[in-house]
Amino acid sequence: MTLTAMPELVDTRIEDVRWADLGLKQLSQTACGAALTRLGLDPAAFEISLLGCDDATIAALNSDFRGKPTATNVLSWPSVDRAADTPGKTPEAPKTDPAGRTELGDIAIAFDTCEREANVSETPMHAHVSHLLVHGTLHLLGYDHISNKDAALMEGLEVEILATLGIPDPYCNETNKNDGNTGKD
């Protein structure tokens, strides 16, 4: 009997070597997988593309796609708009493709901004990046923070998912609550 390796959930492209040094590939598998698992989705049925870049690259992407020519921590592009019509309502789960894995979308994350935010909030870099990867994955699944009800739902899920990874609540103090981790992507 031949065993075949399971495909990775996250297809990671590293443009900034500092991400490799941090272990972005493994962090992304763990954080994005935890988000899907918490929502009752099998990570083996899905695929996410991730770009580990620097501030210059993410600023260009932010300008091109959002008209905001500044660096940000994380950006996400869902393959399908899954957002719920009613604020605070859980988005519909993505359909799985019986013929293969379902693409959820793309995430880009900027090392410089993440490192700066982690330092300001006195959060370990791996914990901050894990939070942003969970955050980006939830965006791919239709969650957002446009309204207060949507933000409460999304942040509550983030806290639950991060807890399964042994990462404390990133919203537990005002420094973290107002550091711009949400609302930028």
Burial pattern 38-64, b for ≥16 Cβ within 10 A else e, equals: bbebebebbbbbbbbbbbebbbebbee
Reported as a single tens digit per residue, the pLDDT across 173-182 is 644 443 344 4
Can you give the pLDDT at residue 157? 98
Q: Is the pLDDT of residue 5 over 80?
A: no
Strand pairing report for 46-53 and 74-78: unpaired
Reported as a single tens digit per residue, the pLDDT across 27-45 is 999 999 999 999 999 999 9
Can you give the pLDDT at residue 173? 64
* Of the candidate ranges 12-21, 45-54, 171-180, the one whose mean pLDDT is the lowest: 171-180
Q: Are 157 and 135 in contact (CB under 8 A)?
A: no
The pTM of this model reads: 0.90
Q: Is the pLDDT of residue 183 over 80?
A: no
> Domains in the chain, please, with CATH?
10-78+102-177 (3.40.390.30)
Q: CA-to-CA distance for 107 and 14, rounded, in angstroms?
A: 12
Q: CA-to-CA distance for 182 and 128, rounded, in angstroms?
A: 12
